[in-house]
Amino acid sequence: MAPLEPYTYIQCPCSDFSPLGQPADASSPTSAEEEEEEHTFDPRAPRSNFGLYPLEYLLYCEDCHQIRCPRCVAEEIVTYYCPSCLFEVPSSNLKSEGNRCTRSCFQCPICIGPLSVTSLESAPPDPNLLSPDQGGIPHTTYCLTCSYCNWSSTEIGIRFDKPNSIHAQLAKIRNGGETRLTAKERKERRKELSSHRGGGHAAAVAAAAAAAAASEEAEVVDLETQFANLKSFYNRQLADPNASENSLSTLGDLGFSSPSSLSRIMNLYTGGRLNDTRTKSRLGIMREAYTPSEGLLVANLDESDAIAKLHQTTLEDTSSMDQLMAQPPNLGEPQLHGEACFASSLRPIPYLLRTKRSKRCPVCRHIISKPEAKIQNTRFRIRLVAGSYMPSISIKRLSLPGANGSSSSLVAGDFLEPFKPVHFVLTFKNPIFEPLKVTLGTPAKTPGRFPSKVTVLCPTFDIDANTDVWDEALKDNDRESSVRNTDGSGSSSRRQRAGTVGESGQFQVEAGKVWGRGRNWVSIVVEVVPASLQLRNKDDVLKEDEDILEIPMFVRIEWEVEGGGDDDVSGQSAAGRSGAGTGEQKEKRELAYWCVLGLGRIKQ
Amino acid sequence: MSRRALRGEYIETDTGNKVARKATLVGTQNIVLGGKTVIQAEVMIRGDLIRSIQSSSSSSGGPPNNTAVAIGRYCFLSRGACLRPPGRLYKGAFTYMPLRMGDHVFVGPASVLQAASIGSHVHIGAKVVVGEFAIIKDYVRILDGTVVPPNMVIPSFTVVAGQPARVIGEVPEGGHEAFELRDLYKTVGNNPQPAPA
Amino acid sequence: MSSKRHSILPPVSSSGPKAPVSFSSSITIADSAILTGTSLITISSESVVHPRAKLDSLAGRVTIGRRCVVHERTTLGAIGTTGKVTEHAVTLGDYVTVEVGASIEAGNTIIGEGTTVGVACKIGAGAVIGKNCTLTPHSEIAAGETIPDNTVVYSNGLRRPDRRGVADLRNKGQTRQIDVLRRMIPSNPAKFTA
């Protein structure tokens, strides 16, 4: 098992039913913690898996003052575009032509790589065989080639005359080079036939009808046509159900399983309601399709041809499940819907369109993320991310030199030894322009089968505001003196480690004191004693990821939003005061959430 | 002039570029660095593979622009990376096209890039191979070991991985700051600042 | 970069004895190519060797066919895990392209004509690769394996036959590429012959 990089996941309140998510309960921190211990967040519960996100994935609604995760956010589509040609597709085109690119962007059916249009040099035809009007002009044809697996559309027998608008040309060709009529052409043909039937010579009509019937039967497998026929048939049935062409209109001949008798029997049981009278009048005798012209598709269960062909082919020439899943609906060959077994029946895949989406808060409907409509522009008009409102937590392992004899060779991500106390430094960075007061709460033992002991050495601390570097330099002198008094650190530069320096010159962790402090960050130490992974019974098996040491931590941050206040009050105001606008013009805000710190894997 | 003891590992130019002495840059007059770019040791940039067909419009204004590789600001080329202009047959003759990179591009160790253009804020992992004439847009993350086939277009805000490269995710709105390389630039050089907390 | 420096090329560490070579007259070999070893290195007509390519003939002869292109940072003839020393370590057919960072181990390894060995490929000792094959980047061929003609090795070891039939076209394209490369890379075969 690979060692683990420490991570931090935050739980979105949308998955939490308990009332802890709502702020502004006037309770002191300690009683709130006790309450929370009963409802301790268990990161190993199956439900919590869906509510945990790293900080980058979370957005923040400024009006609700709450976190929003990708699950609870409501998305709206700004634009559709093809990921290959980066052309915008108007949403009106989407309804008519589907959600794939209709220009020349295709994916290889074998390896899903991009296909490019290449020209085939056709050899100039033999001059002796040329008819006078051809004149010896070489006709360049084009084909699609994959630049990764070297597949070419010539392997399925498809060549193109023009290098652009490949999608339209592809719709007219089947694998193997035969042509295929699109739905529009089919309609036109049918119209011609019906107009022929109306008048004209009987012989010509008969010949045309025979040819049409033959071609229709040959192309009866076309999915588009079948769907169109079936749809028009059902529409006719719904409009005028009693005008059926067959003579089986009496109830007795149809038996019990026909739809009309079933509906009649059901009406006997549920009869008496007013709204049924309307449906009764509509219900005539309806039937299913009988002939291919009405949309009947006879299943072809005889696969002996396919089996015979399979005997001849190699494994590479058959298609895999991934390749079949990636294929778009094959309009030309519906009997191959997800069942084609040969690689030669796979077709190039048009690219699925991608979208630019804007996100709305589900509660107050304000927009919290809105990209620019233009595809080339990567900026955002509105982008309220949680990272600019919540402190980010980074975790590093702390190896105290000389504390234990063996700590000198520790590498971040090493396995944790059971029963040996380990220290981690958590660094909280403040992104907002006000000072933050942070209160942490963790259960003393981690939930799960193997509880490890957790101690946060400094659960309450302040982080200074994220001011400019110049302001910091001006305030340096003030801070140096005050910091020296409280926790004995040296200067206010970034790298200085706090914590008392023992007599022998080593750093020691002390409860109640922060480890380090900087312009807008504070780091504290968490001590963990990992549990041993001994299984009680011999049949017990360690579940997946049960050896990861995860600490659920409840974080509450409080800050004041000004009207004009200066940053000196926050440390002294009690956490319980709800700050009901007593004329100070400062509004107290707080945000509380559960987060999970994954520290590492315990050695087995 | 400079004694052995004073030679740092990097040459720092006045525009802030830090080029390792052990990097191999061929044809440097055709390589354009934007400024504050870090080139670590064993990186190879082929600036000698320039465009051999000159368009006629260049004759009007000064010497023809022979840039083979153009790199933006705050880029970071890790150990062993190789940047090579892509080449193909154009109108019957073989020619190389320039490779253009945007700002804040991180190229992982042992990667080989032959793309036509790479946008800004791109993070390319280790041992990545980008095929010829690929186009990578802005804010893209390419994971380790990916092979981007030739002629592929990777749109903005995607995460790609695999051989051949497939889109496996999107970059979230909160992840834009992770692409900034200003802090990484400060940790390298002859006087490296330690990484911020 | 300042225009005063023509190139930044750290000195090539001469790691080994200078190899006996047999060059055709029309080859292009860059100055900073590395040719080491004790057996003969043969490069046939019109081939191109880019800077920093390494041809190592300690484990046997290295033969490069006509109109081949060997890119930079490649290693031809590295001693593989088997450690065999045979008469012919590596043989490349005509029109072969070996791309950046590929490594071909020694031990009767044969690469057929018209083949493209992709970026960072690893070819084991004694492998035999057929004609007109394509190895996509990061493919690994185990030692002793045989790849039939016209095969594409892609995506973590999958194979498929290549039916495009563009071998001639590709070779012609390679010829044009070589014409352009000969003008671009300053060639210095004399450095290796003496």
User: Of A343 and A147, which is predicted with more confidence?
Assistant: A147
Q: Is the pLDDT of residue A119 over 90?
A: no
Contact: C134, A145; criterion CB under 8 Å: no
- Chain B residues with CB under 8 Å of A429 CB are 197
- Chain B, 67 to 86: residues with Cβ < 8 Å from chain C are 82, 84
Which runs of consecutive H residues, i.e. helices, occur in A219-300? 223-239, 251-254, 259-270, 275-282
pLDDT, greater one: C107 or A338 = C107
For residues A217 and C73, which has the higher predicted lDDT (pLDDT)? C73
Q: Break chain B into its structural domains and give their ranges.
A: 4-54+65-186
Confidence at A408, pLDDT banded by 50, 70, 90: very low
A14 phi, psi to nearest 5 deg: -70, -25
The pLDDT value recorded for residue A324 is: 80
Contacts of C152 in chain A (CB under 8 A): 149-150
Higher pLDDT, A445 or A3: A445
CB proximity B84 to A under 8 Å? no
CB contact under 8 A, B21 and C8: yes
Q: Does B92 touch chain A (CB under 8 A)?
A: no
From B81, B113, B91, B89, select the one nearest B100 (Cα to Cα): B113
Q: Compute the average pLDDT of residues A577-603.
A: 75
Phi, psi of C10 (to 5 degrees): -60, 150
More confident of the two residues A113 and B4:
A113
Residues of chain C with pLDDT under 70: 1-8, 11-16, 80-84, 194
CB-based contact, B35 to chain A, within 8 Å: no
pLDDT of residue C1: 42
pLDDT at A411: 54
pLDDT at residue A323 above 60? yes
Q: Is B14 on the interface with C (CB under 8 A)?
A: no
Within 8 A of C100 by CB-CB distance, chain B residues are 82, 84, 112
Chain B: give the shortest CA distance to residue C120, in Å. Answer: 8
Distance of CA A371 to the CA centre of its chain: 18
Q: Which residue of chain B comes nearest to A386, CA vs CA?
A: B174
- With CB atoms and an 8 Å threshold, state whether C160 touches A152: no
Region B65-86: mean pLDDT is 92
Q: Tens digit of pLDDT for each residue in A544-589?
A: 778 888 889 999 999 988 764 444 444 334 333 444 444 457 888 8
Cβ atoms of residues B60 and B90 within 8 Å? no
Q: CB pairs below 8 Å between A and B: how many?
A: 70
| The pLDDT of residue B9 | 84
Identify the pLDDT of residue A303: 77
Which of these CATH numbers, 3.30.930.10, 1.10.357.10, 2.160.10.10, 1.10.10.10, describes B4-54+65-186? Answer: 2.160.10.10
Element (H, E) at A213: helix A202-218
pTM: 0.81
Query: Cβ–Cβ of C180/B93 closer than 8 Å?
Result: yes
Highest mean pLDDT among A395-404, B86-95, B156-165 belongs to: B156-165
Please tell me which residue of chain B has the smallest CA distance to A380: B173
Q: Which domains does chain C have, with CATH numbers?
A: 21-188 (2.160.10.10)
Residues B151, A116: C-beta atoms closer than 8 Å? yes
Tell me: pLDDT of A114 over 60. yes
| Mutation for A interface: B121, B159, B173, B176, most A CBs within 10 A | B173
Per-residue model confidence (pLDDT) at position A281: 53
pLDDT of residue B153: 95
Q: Which tops the pLDDT comparison, A270 or A183?
A: A270
Query: CB–CB of C179/B94 below 8 Å?
Result: yes
Q: How confident is the model at residue A256 (pLDDT cuts 50, 70, 90)?
A: low
Residue A13 has pLDDT above 50, yes or no: yes
% of chain B residues with pLDDT over 70 = 89
pLDDT bracket for residue B169 (50, 70, 90): very high
Please check whether residue A280 lies inside any domain of the structure: no
Are the beta carbons of A117 and A76 closer than 8 angstroms? no
Task: Tell me how close the Cα of C9 comes to any Cα of chain A, in angstroms.
Answer: 33
Q: Does C155 touch chain B (CB under 8 A)?
A: yes
Residue C166 touches partner B, C-beta closer than 8 Å: no
Q: Give the DSSP per-residue string, A270-286.
A: HTT-THHHHHHHH----
Contact C137 B25 (CB under 8 A): no
User: Above 90 in pLDDT, residue B82?
Assistant: yes
Mean pLDDT in residue range A475-497: 49
CB contact under 8 A, A84 and B153: yes
User: Are B47 and B87 spatial neighbours (Cβ–Cβ below 8 Å)?
Assistant: no
Tokens for A189, please give them: 């043909």
Could you tell me if A324 and A406 lie in one domain? no
Q: Which structure tokens are listed for B80?
A: 């062993």
Q: Are A585 and A595 in contact (CB under 8 A)?
A: no
| Whole-angstrom distance, CA of residue B148 vs CA of residue A112 | 12
Look at A576 and A146; give whichever has higher pLDDT: A146
Binary contact (A378, B156; C-beta < 8 A): yes
CB contact under 8 A, C119 and B129: yes
pLDDT at residue B1 above 80? no
pLDDT at residue A448 in the model: 81
Task: Using CB atoms, pick whichever of A121, A150, A154 lies closest to residue C152.
Answer: A150
- Quote the number of domains for chain A: 2
Per-chain mean pLDDT for chain A: 74
Contact status, residue C34 vs residue C12, Cβ threshold 8 Å? yes
Q: Tell whether A476 and A334 lie within a shared domain.
A: no
The 8-class DSSP code of residue A526 comes to E
Q: Which has the closest alpha carbon to C126: C153, C89, C96?
A: C89
**Structure confidence at residue A328 as a pLDDT band (50, 70, 90):** confident
How distant is the Cα of C139 from the closest Cα of chain A, in angstroms?
A: 12
For residues A408 and A340, membership in a common domain is answered with no
Residue of B nearest to C174 (CA): B94
Candidates B44, B96, B129; nearest CB to C73: B44
Q: Which chain A residues are Cβ-neighbours of C136 within 8 angstroms? A: 148-149
- Cα torsion through C157, C158, C159, C165, rounded to 10: -110
Tokens of B167: 């889109």
Question: Exposure of A317 by Cβ count < 10 A (0-12 exposed, 13-18 middle, 19+ buried)?
Answer: middle
- Give the one of A110, A148, A152 whose C-beta lies nearest to C164's C-beta: A152
Whether the CB of A150 is below 8 Å from some CB of chain C: the reply is yes
> Would you call A86 an interface residue with chain B, using a CB distance cutoff of 8 Å?
yes
Secondary structure (H, E, C), A465-481:
CCCCHHHHHHHHHHHHH
Name the pLDDT band for B122 (thresholds 50, 70, 90).
Answer: very high
- Using DSSP bridges, classify how beta strands B99-101 and B117-118 pair: parallel, antiparallel or unpaired: parallel
The residue written with tokens 């298609």 in the block is: A319
String of b and e for B3-29 (b: at least 16 CB within 10 Å)?
A: eeeeeeebbeeeebbbbbeebbbbbbb
Neighbours of chain B (3+ CB pairs under 8 A): A, C
CA angle A295, A299, A301 (to 5 degrees): 170
Residue keyed to tokens 């840039």:
B67
Query: C2 touching B, CB under 8 A?
Result: yes
CA distance A512 to B27: 60
The angle that helices A202-218 and A183-198 make with each other, rounded to 10 degrees, is: 150
* Helices and strands in chain C, H and E counts: 2, 21
Q: Which domain holds residue A542?
A: 7-15+394-601
Residue A555 lies in a domain: yes
What pLDDT does A132 receive? Answer: 54
Q: Nearest by CB to B21, which of C10, C179, C185?
A: C10
Q: Give the helix/strand (H/E) hosting A600.
A: strand A587-601
Give the model confidence (pLDDT) of A350-387 as tens digits: 999 999 999 999 989 999 999 999 988 999 999 999 99
Considering only CB atoms, B151 lies closest to which of A57, A114, A149, namely A114
Q: A396-400, A484-488, A517-521, B103-107 — which is least confidently predicted?
A: A484-488
Judge: C161–A148 Cβ closer than 8 Å, yes or no: no
Are B164 and C51 within 8 A, CB to CB? no
Q: In this model, does residue A496 exceed pLDDT 50? A: no
CB of C162 within 8 Å of a chain A CB? The answer is: yes
Query: Which DSSP string corresponds to B59-121?
Result: GTSSS----SEEEEET-EE-TT-EE---EEEETTEEEE--EEE-SS-EE-TT-EE--SEE-SS
Q: Are B13 and C2 a contacting pair at CB < 8 A? A: yes
- The minimal CB distance from A385 to the residues B150, B174, B194 is found for B174
Q: Residue A283 falls within a domain, yes or no?
A: no
Mark yes or no for CB contact C136/B29 under 8 Å: no
Residue C5, both tokens: 């420096």
Yes or no: say if A397 and A412 are a contact pair by the CB < 8 Å rule. Answer: yes
How close is the nearest chain C Cα to the Cα of B180, in Å?
23
- Mark whether A409 and A483 lie in a shared domain: yes
Contact A150 C159 (CB under 8 A): no
The answer to whether residue B162 neighbours chain A at the CB level (below 8 Å) is: no
Looking at residue A294, what is its pLDDT?
77
Q: Could you tell me which chain C residue has the CA closest to the CA of A315?
A: C160
The reply to whether A145 touches chain C by the CB within 8 Å rule is yes
Give the residue from A292, A327, A350 where a domain finishes. A350
Residue A108 lies in a domain: yes
**Do A436 and A547 fall into the same domain?**
yes
pLDDT of B18 higher than 80: yes
d(CA C129, CA C142): 11
Asked if pLDDT for residue A36 goes beyond 50, the answer is no
Nearest to C7 among B22, B27, B145 (CB): B27
A310/A436 same-domain check: no
Q: Which of A554, A599, A601 is nearest to A11 (CA)?
A: A554
Whether A25 shows a pLDDT value over 70: the answer reads no
Record: contact B197-A55, CB cut-off 8 A = no
Residues 6+ apart with CB under 8 A from A596: A8, A9, A10, A11, A41, A43, A52, A550, A551, A552, A553
Q: Which two tokens stand for residue A567?
A: 């940053």
Q: Which residue has the tokens 């004009």?
A: A564
Which amino acid, C66? R
pLDDT of residue B126: 95
Contact at CB, B131 and C137, closer than 8 angstroms: yes
Q: Are residues A341 and A488 in the same domain?
A: no
Contact (CB<8Å) A154/C169: no
pLDDT of A191 > 80? The answer is no
Residues A346 and A461 in one domain: no
Chains with ≥3 CB–CB distances under 8 Å to C: A, B
Cβ–Cβ of A316/C152 closer than 8 Å?
no
End-to-end, the C-alpha distance of chain A in Å comes to: 10
- Tell whether A577 is covered by a domain: yes
Distance CA A40, CA A58 (A): 22
Tokens of A3: 């060692």
**Model pLDDT, residue A227:** 76
Question: A326 with A467, same domain?
Answer: no
Same domain membership, residue A555 and residue A444: yes
Determine, for residues C163 and A154 on separate chains, whether the beta-carbon distance falls below 8 Å. yes
- Regarding whether A400 and A342 lie in a shared domain, the answer is no
> What token pair was written down for A383?
């982008």
Percentage helix, strand, coil, to 5, in chain C? 10, 35, 55
Residue that wins the pLDDT comparison between B73 and A282: B73
Binning pLDDT at 50, 70 and 90, where does residue A122 land?
A: low
| Whether residue A228 has pLDDT greater than 90 | no
* Same domain, yes or no: A465 and A588: yes
C-alpha of A420 from chain center? 40
Separation CA B53–CA B63 (nearest Å) = 14
d(C-alpha B69, C-alpha A18), whole Å: 58
